């Protein structure tokens, strides 16, 4: 192997800094008192506290899932801080001017536009710092067309009937170990409601940041699109670099009524730990969309590059006739990262369609698995699924696995799954070099070619970011 | 007269200890069984296979058939190509009058385990991975089966035929048989083996087949499961394929109320394997295939095509794992699971799995569940076929495709007729 | 321009080139001919720095600079191009994007202006006429699913884009029908300049009817056994290779 391919050191994680900010935290540990304290701090109604407690009691009866192809020290749930908020005069900033300058600088450094005049105008942003939403932009403008875009805590206060109606309707509080934990202790997140017939005039976005060393992040996002409504939602995440692991156990629920369309895009760049696997986020997330109405459409696009452990299966329940579910994913693992990610497509309604495109890239000593389920229930006449899962391996010490499960109970269904494995070949690289293209640029071009079918689903500015991110993450990995 | 056995083969395979020298293996299996229950859906490997019908029954070891069956009692199960190279077992016992092994090539040994004056030391030691419940049951309880030894560089021209027949009276306790087969091909040997299961009534058959294909040897293995439709069949197979060796198997599952095939194949450097399967199911049949193909060393090649045709309220399950071990560079593995559902209540669950720990590999898998191709249907109709005939013909073609390369003509013909009957394509006639 | 002195090279420890001497000057066209497995392709790949081959001895200079000090991409930008016998397929990477990146890297190295996608589009549409390639091939993935002939067209298109000073063309005629061979041969001739040079590697003399070399070398067993003018190619066409090998063997015995 020639010298160009080696000797380039890995790009440092550039979001690894810690913001020195005074925090209001509850003591570490989990019991009913802590849950009551969180609920009280947020001034929640009784029904929500009861809902949390019910989830907690159920969680106590559950065991951590073991089936994923990941190994990690089990978190000590009594050592986690379940609530941590930047201390401030007001619980929520009315405008940017009130935001703690230190916090503001943090988000400037991260490139997150919490200022409405910022470069990324045209995207409304809800910013979540540890356990709380610190600011939401463009709220008023969106409200003029009836769109509700605010933090989850705020929605509980201002639109309790909507929250009560939809909370847990897609991911029940008893769904799985981490979803139950989230239901018990979730602290904030975003709430989006797009009323009947409204097309959201701008992309909505939430930016998540874990800052506190001992805190877990348990946010909850709920997006409801009424009949004929449509919205595109973006999610970004980073965390400082600590040599301990932080737990992130989020729940995202999407509900699409008749002919509604929700597009949910994620660029996940939580701190992945160092090259020896020290530190990093445990990312155990439950994301599910319910295509409740006829002709509804939910599309997940994810670019997963961070986290020490990723356990995440954004799914679609295709209940409405003619509904469509999509999952587009790029998961990149390097060094000691482990990812077990994929999707579930459950076909219940007639003529439902789903598409799964998954691209896994493994480098270093990492482990990267696609796990999927396509289920066609007996009444799902005419269900169609197409899945394509490709893996690319870079180096001899990583692994790539594909675990698709197909369950079909209707004979009119047509389900197809294909998977291939390739490597960035020495021959490919050499061909590029012979045409004068340096190895690093060749790799980046090949990787982008490999991920093209997913990147084109991302909103433009996210796609550019994702491309850069992958190249950075892979620097020095080939050869 | 015992045929001459290559000296190295002898020392490798045959211990001079007393018969039943595999006692330690038996004891270990017995110990594992003591700590085990019949598997249930909480175990990932048994998630889709409901064994509860077994729980309602009580079992006993099958007893010897009397009078002793002769060749004339099994017409239609004797293939002219393998007239003098067959061993027949009835109800788990060797049936000497129904068997005939006078046509073996020099040096080849093919005999009932019970008549072995020496114990086969390799028994219970081949292959990788923990045995499942039924395999342990066999190891702990088996009394009979067959041993096949082919010495170095011997190319066996005539295929060998292994026939396991079980006859059960209905009512009362359910007889159980534990066929055990050990096949050893020494370096450069070549063999074709046909392994068939037939029966009547309700019984449980738990066969275990162990295979070693040494360096450069080639085994072609046809496996025909035609148990009675009331029977239960849980089979395990372990094969080790040495450097540059080849193991090609084709498993056709037609019988059994609940059946399972569990082949596990390990490939050494440059070895090749094909592991094809066809399950043709109707009524309330459930057939499960759990395969494991292990590319343990570099430059191996594997091909797996598994097809299921499911009618009635039947259910087909496929779980095919392909593993490419660290360092197994140059592996070329392809796996396909293809499924056809013929009725509204039929069901298919398929889970192909690729686990890859080496980067310079060519691996792919595909799975498809669906109906017949509408374009193909239209094409046949445009040539004047009625829609149902076109459907039947294509269904037949989907299944029979896998039978085309069965080398034993009479077996191939018999299976084609069966498939034709099952796909209701008899009206088309003359295809097989 | 290119000077090869006693070059030896091996692959996986097996010597393939056993002492090659060759001098190529600006304006010259050389042909390397020889039976299969003679080391012809190896010579080309070693010159452009293929990682599978190890240079075990000798030296090669290009414009007086030691070639082996340069990475493959630096050699390419310095003006050495190889048209491969079996160009590799790269799924997902569009041919046009690849060509533009290659063009811009060279332009950047030479201090010329890089072309934006629109400018490049105009530029490449002119170039593809030269090789009679259909425009749709620009939008397809690099070489993916191309026929043997289409791949060769694409190789010469790349040559037209990069305008190398030294082009090494390895078995250009394999996979080409007679018409396509004429088109590509003419294209190569049109791309030739007084300050350029060509090294044609071929088993069959057929291509030399279109691209006419001044110098012909017979390579076998990792050595150049015989060199001559265009008449040598004619003789090889009539008599095959055996007589050269016999002559050389006789020479060795003496």
My answer on whether B19 and B165 are in the same domain is: yes
Provide the pLDDT confidence category of residue A111 given band limits of 50, 70 and 90. low
> Which residue did the predictor score with more confidence, B323 or A444?
B323
Asked whether residue B314 is domain-assigned, the answer is: no
Average pLDDT of the residues in C105-129: 90
Region A419-440: mean pLDDT is 87
pLDDT at A54 over 90: yes
Task: Give partners of B (≥3 CB pairs < 8 A).
Answer: A
Report the alpha-carbon distance of residue B160 to residue B192 in Å, rounded: 6
pLDDT of residue A119: 37
Q: What is the pLDDT of residue B57?
A: 86
In a domain, B36, yes or no: yes
Q: Report pLDDT for A478.
A: 61
pLDDT of residue B119 exceeding 60? no
Tell me whether residue B348 is in a domain: no
Asked whether the bond before B67 is cis by omega within 30 degrees of 0, the reply is yes
Has residue B430 been placed in a domain? Answer: yes
Q: Do B264 and B119 share a domain, yes or no?
A: yes
Selecting from A394, A414, A419 the residue whose C-beta is nearest the C-beta of B359 gives A394
C84 shares contact with chain A (CB less than 8 Å): yes
pLDDT for position A117: 43
Q: Name the minimum distance, in Å, from the CA of B320 to any CA of chain A.
A: 10
- Residue A113: what pLDDT? 56
Contacts of C203 (CB under 8 A, 6+ apart): C33, C34, C35, C36, C40, C171
What does the pLDDT average to over C7-24?
92
Q: Containing domain of residue B95, as a range?
A: 7-268
Whole-number pLDDT of residue B304: 97
Residue A168, phi-psi category: left (phi > 0), alpha (psi -120 to 50), beta (remainder): left
Judge contact between C206 and C174, C-beta under 8 A: no
Q: Are residues B47 and B191 in the same domain?
A: yes
Among residues B233, B268, B303, the one where a domain terminates is B268
Domain check: are B12 and B139 in the same one? yes
* A 406-435: CB under 8 A from C: 422, 425-428, 430-435
Mean pLDDT of chain B: 87
> How many Cβ atoms from other residues are within 10 Å of residue B404's Cβ?
8
DSSP structure class, residue A218:
-
A435–C162 CB contact, under 8 Å: yes
Say what the pLDDT of residue C241 is. 84
Q: Could you give the CA distance from residue B79 to residue B89 in angstroms, rounded to a whole number?
A: 15
Q: In what order do the strands lie in the sheet with C53-62?
A: C14-24, C2-11, C53-62, C65-66
- Min distance A456 CA to chain B CA atoms (Å): 24
pLDDT band at C248 (very low <50, low <70, confident <90, very high): confident
> B64-82 pLDDT, tens per residue?
888 888 888 887 888 999 9
Round to whole Å and give the CA distance between B103 and B202.
34
Half-sphere exposure of A458 (CA within 13 A, CB side): 24
Higher pLDDT, A269 or B255: B255
Per-residue pLDDT, averaged over C68-89, amounts to 90
Measured from the Cβ of residue B4, the count of other Cβ atoms closer than 10 Å reads 11
A416:B366 CB<8 A: yes
pLDDT at residue B429, rounded to an integer: 45
C-alpha C218/C-alpha C241 separation (Å) is: 8
The 8-class DSSP code of residue B115 comes to: G
CA dihedral sign of residues C20, C21, C24, C30: negative
Chain B residue closest to A388 (CA)? B366
pLDDT of residue B19: 44
Percentage with pLDDT > 90 across chain A: 53
pLDDT confidence of residue A360: 95
State mean pLDDT over B95-122: 84
Of B248, B268, B288, which marks where a domain is finished? B268
Distance from CA of B335 to the nearest CA of A (A): 10
pLDDT for residue B389 is more than 50: yes
Residue B351 included in any domain: no
The predicted model gives C15-31 an average pLDDT of: 94
Unique residue bearing structure tokens 């010298």: A3
Instruction: Give the lowest-confidence range in A80-89, B220-229, B328-337, C39-48.
Output: A80-89
> Chain A contact for C12, CB < 8 A?
no
Lowest-pLDDT choice from A70-79, C13-22, C243-252 = C243-252
**Bridge partner residues of C81 (DSSP):** C167
User: Is residue B108 a contact partner of residue B4, using CB atoms and an 8 Å limit?
Assistant: no
Query: Where is A331: in which H helix or E strand?
Result: strand A324-333
B370 chain-A contacts, CB cut-off 8 A = 413-416
Are B244 and B383 contained in the same domain?
no
- Top mean-pLDDT range of A49-58, A84-93, A96-105, B15-24: A49-58
Domains present along chain C, CATH in parentheses: 2-253 (3.40.50.300)
Please, which pLDDT band fits residue A214 given cuts at 50, 70 and 90? Answer: confident
Domain end call among B268, B289, B322: B268
B316 lies in a domain? no
Q: Rounded to an integer, what distance in angstroms lies between the CA atom of residue B125 and that of residue A248?
A: 46
**With contacts defined as CB-CB under 8 Å, which chain A residues touch B366?**
416-419
Average pLDDT over residues A231-250: 81
Instruction: Say if residue A384's pLDDT is above 50.
Output: yes
The answer, for C83 touching chain A at a CB cutoff of 8 Å, is no
pLDDT at residue B200 in the model: 93
Q: Is the pLDDT of residue C89 over 90?
A: no
Residue B423 pLDDT grade (very low, low, confident, very high; cuts 50, 70, 90): confident
Closest chain A residue to C141 measured between Cα atoms?
A449
Domain membership flag for residue B325: no
Q: How many domains does chain B have?
A: 2
The secondary structure of residue A137, as a DSSP letter, is: S
Q: Alpha-carbon distance A208 to A268, whole Å?
A: 10
Is a pLDDT exceeding 60 seen at residue A3? no
Q: At what angle do helices A439-455 and C95-109 cross, to 10 degrees?
A: 150
Query: Which of A132-146, B225-239, C33-47 bottoms out in mean pLDDT, i.e. has the lowest?
Result: A132-146
CB contact under 8 A, B367 and A415: yes
Of A2, A434, A445, the CB nearest to C101: A445
Tell me which chains share at least 3 CB pairs under 8 Å with chain C. A
Classify residue A395 by burial, with Cβ atoms within 10 Å: 0-12, 13-18, 19+: middle
Considering only the beta carbons, identify the residue of A428, A433, A436 that sits closest to C90.
A428
- A449/C81 touch (CB, cutoff 8 Å), yes or no: no
Test the B interface: residue of A417, A426, A477, A478 with most B CBs within 10 Å = A417
CA distance A444 to A476: 11
Asked whether the predicted pLDDT for residue B60 surpasses 50, the reply is yes
> At A131, is the secondary structure helix, strand, or coil?
coil
For residue B278, being part of any structural domain is answered with no
Same domain, B253 and B400: no
Reported as type and span, the H/E element at residue B139 is: helix B133-141
pLDDT tens per residue across span A160-190 = 999 999 999 999 999 999 999 999 999 888 8
Distant-in-sequence, close-in-space partners of B354: CB < 8 Å, separation ≥ 6: A391, A400, A401, A402, A419, A421, B322, B324, B333, B335, B363, B365
Whether the per-residue pLDDT at B3 is higher than 50: the answer is no
Q: What is the DSSP letter of B43?
A: S
Interchain pair A419, B365: CB under 8 A: yes
- pLDDT at res. A14: 66
User: Is the ipTM above a cut-off of 0.95?
Assistant: no
What pLDDT, on a 0 to 100 scale, did the predictor assign at position A9?
25
Distance from CA of A254 to the nearest CA of C (A): 32
pLDDT (0 to 100) of residue B36: 84
Please give the pLDDT value at position B22.
74
In this prediction, residue A132 carries a pLDDT of 62
For the stretch A362-383, pLDDT in tens is 999 999 999 999 999 999 999 9
Average pLDDT over every residue of B54-69? 85
- Quick one: pLDDT band at residue A8, thresholds 50, 70, 90? very low
For residues C18 and C56, the answer to whether their CB atoms sit within 8 Å is no
User: Which has the closest alpha carbon to B255: B203, B180, B188, B304?
Assistant: B203
Whether residues B261 and B391 fall in one domain: no
> Which phi and psi (to 5°) does residue A207 adopt?
-115, 120
Structure confidence at residue C66 (pLDDT): 93
Element at A99 (helix H, strand E): none
Q: What rounded mean pLDDT belongs to chain A?
A: 85
């Amino acid at each position: 192997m020639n010298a160009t391919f080696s000797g380039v050191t890995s790009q440092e994680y550039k979001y690894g800094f810690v913001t020195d900010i005074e925090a209001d935290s509850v003591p570490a540990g989990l019991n009913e008192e802590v849950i009551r304290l969180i609920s009280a701090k947020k001034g929640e109604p009784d029904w929500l506290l009861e809902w949390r407690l019910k989830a907690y009691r159920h969680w106590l009866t559950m065991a951590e899932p073991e089936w994923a192809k990941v190994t990690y020290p089990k978190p000590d749930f009594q050592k986690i801080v379940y609530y941590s908020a930047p201390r401030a005069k007001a619980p929520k900033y009315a405008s940017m001017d009130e935001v703690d300058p230190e916090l503001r600088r943090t988000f400037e450094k991260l490139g997150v536009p919490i200022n409405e005049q910022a470069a990324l105008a045209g995207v409304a942003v809800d910013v979540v710092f540890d356990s709380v939403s610190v600011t939401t932009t463009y709220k008023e403008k969106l409200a003029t067309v009836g769109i509700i875009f605010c933090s989850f805590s705020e929605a509980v206060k201002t639109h309790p009937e909507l929250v009560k109606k939809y909370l847990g309707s897609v991911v029940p509080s008893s769904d799985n170990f981490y979803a139950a934990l989230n239901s018990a202790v979730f602290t904030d997140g975003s709430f989006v409601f797009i009323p009947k017939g409204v097309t959201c005039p701008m992309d909505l976005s939430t930016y998540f940041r874990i800052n506190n060393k001992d805190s877990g992040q348990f946010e909850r996002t709920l997006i409801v699109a009424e009949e004929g409504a449509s919205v595109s939602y973006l999610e970004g995440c980073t965390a400082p670099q600590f040599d301990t692991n932080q737990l992130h156990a989020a729940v995202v629920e999407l509900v699409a009524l008749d002919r509604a369309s929700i597009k949910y895009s994620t660029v996940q760049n939580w701190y992945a730990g160092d090259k020896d696997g020290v530190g990093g986020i445990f990312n155990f997330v439950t994301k599910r969309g319910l295509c409740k109405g006829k002709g509804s459409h939910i599309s997940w696009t994810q670019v997963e590059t961070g986290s020490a452990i990723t356990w995440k299966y954004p799914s679609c329940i295709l209940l409405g006739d003619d509904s469509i579910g999509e999952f587009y994913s790029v998961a990149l693992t390097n060094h000691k990262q482990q990812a077990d990610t994929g999707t579930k497509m459950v076909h219940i309604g007639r003529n439902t369609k789903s598409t799964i495109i998954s691209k896994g890239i493994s480098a270093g000593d990492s482990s990267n698995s696609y796990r999927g389920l396509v289920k066609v229930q007996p009444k799902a006449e005419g269900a169609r699924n197409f899945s394509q899962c490709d893996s690319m391996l870079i180096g001899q010490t990583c692994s790539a696995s594909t675990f698709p499960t197909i369950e079909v109970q209707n004979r009119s269904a047509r389900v197809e799954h294909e998977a291939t494995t390739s490597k960035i070949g020495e021959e490919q690289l050499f061909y590029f070099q012979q045409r004068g293209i340096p190895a690093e640029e060749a790799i980046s071009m090949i990787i982008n070619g490999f991920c093209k079918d997913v990147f084109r689903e991302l909103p433009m500015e996210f796609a550019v970011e994702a491309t850069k991110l992958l190249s950075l993450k892979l620097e020095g990995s080939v050869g | 007269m015992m045929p001459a056995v290559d000296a190295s083969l002898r020392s490798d395979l045959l211990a001079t200890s007393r018969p039943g020298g595999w006692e330690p293996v038996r004891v270990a299996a017995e110990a594992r069984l003591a700590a085990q229950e019949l598997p249930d859906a909480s175990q990932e490997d048994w998630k889709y296979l409901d064994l509860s019908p077994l729980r309602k029954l009580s079992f006993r070891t099958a007893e010897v058939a009397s009078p002793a069956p002769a060749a004339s009692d099994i017409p239609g199960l004797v293939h002219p190509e393998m007239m003098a190279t067959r061993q027949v077992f009835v109800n788990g016992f060797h049936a000497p009058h129904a068997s005939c092994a006078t046509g073996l090539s020099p040096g080849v040994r093919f005999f009932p385990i019970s008549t072995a004056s020496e114990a086969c030391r390799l028994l219970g030691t081949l292959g990788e991975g923990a045995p499942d419940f039924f395999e342990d049951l066999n190891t702990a309880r088996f009394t009979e089966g067959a041993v096949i030894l082919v010495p170095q560089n011997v190319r066996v021209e005539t295929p060998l035929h292994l026939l396991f027949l079980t006859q059960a009276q209905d009512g009362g306790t359910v007889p159980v048989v534990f066929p055990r087969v050990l096949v050893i091909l020494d370096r450069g040997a070549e063999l074709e083996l046909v392994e068939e299961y037939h029966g009547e009534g309700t019984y449980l058959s738990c066969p275990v087949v162990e295979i070693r294909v040494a360096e450069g040897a080639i085994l072609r293995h046809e496996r025909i499961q035609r148990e009675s439709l009331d029977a239960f069949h849980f089979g395990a197979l372990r094969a080790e394929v040495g450097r540059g060796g080849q193991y090609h198997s084709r498993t056709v599952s037609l019988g059994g109320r609940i059946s399972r095939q569990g082949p596990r194949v390990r490939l050494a450097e440059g070895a090749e394997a094909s592991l094809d399967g066809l399950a043709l199911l109707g009524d309330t049949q459930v057939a499960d295939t759990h395969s494991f193909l292990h590319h343990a060393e570099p430059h191996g090649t594997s091909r797996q095509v598994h097809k299921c045709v499911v009618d009635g309220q039947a259910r087909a399950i496929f779980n095919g794992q392909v593993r490419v071990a660290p360092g197994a560079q140059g592996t070329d593995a392809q796996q396909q699971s293809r499924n056809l559902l013929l009725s509204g209540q039929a069901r298919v669950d398929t889970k192909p799995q690729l686990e890859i720990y080496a980067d310079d590999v060519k691996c792919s898998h595909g799975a498809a569940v669906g109906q017949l191709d509408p374009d193909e249907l239209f094409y046949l109709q445009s040539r004047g076929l009625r829609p149902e005939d076109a459907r039947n013909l294509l269904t037949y073609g989907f299944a029979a495709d896998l039978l085309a390369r069965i080398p034993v003509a009479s077996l191939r013909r018999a299976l084609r007729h069966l498939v034709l009957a099952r796909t209701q394509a008899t009206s088309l006639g003359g295809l097989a | 321009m290119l000077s090869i002195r006693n070059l030896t090279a091996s692959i996986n420890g097996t010597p393939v080139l056993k002492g090659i001497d060759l001098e190529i000057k600006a304006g010259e066209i050389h042909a390397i001919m020889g039976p299969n497995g003679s080391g012809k392709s190896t010579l080309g790949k070693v010159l452009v720095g293929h990682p599978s081959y190890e240079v075990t001895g000798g030296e090669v200079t290009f414009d007086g600079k030691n070639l082996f000090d340069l990475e493959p991409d630096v050699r390419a930008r310095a003006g050495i191009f190889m048209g491969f016998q079996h160009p590799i397929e790269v799924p997902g990477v569009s041919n046009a994007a690849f060509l533009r990146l290659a063009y811009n890297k060279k332009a950047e190295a030479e201090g010329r202006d890089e072309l934006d996608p629109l400018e490049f589009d105009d530029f490449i549409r002119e170039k593809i006429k030269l090789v009679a390639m259909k425009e749709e091939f620009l939008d397809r993935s690099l070489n993916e699913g191309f026929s043997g002939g289409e791949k060769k067209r694409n190789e010469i298109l790349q040559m037209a884009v990069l305008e190398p000073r030294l082009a090494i063309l390895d078995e250009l005629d394999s996979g080409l029908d007679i018409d396509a061979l004429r088109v590509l041969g003419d294209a190569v001739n049109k791309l030739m300049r007084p300050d350029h040079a060509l090294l044609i590697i071929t088993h069959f003399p057929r291509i030399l009817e279109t691209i006419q070399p001044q110098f012909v070398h017979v390579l076998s067993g990792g050595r150049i056994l015989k060199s001559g003018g265009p008449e040598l190619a004619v003789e090889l066409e009539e008599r095959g290779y055996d007589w050269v090998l016999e002559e050389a063997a006789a020479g060795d015995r003496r």
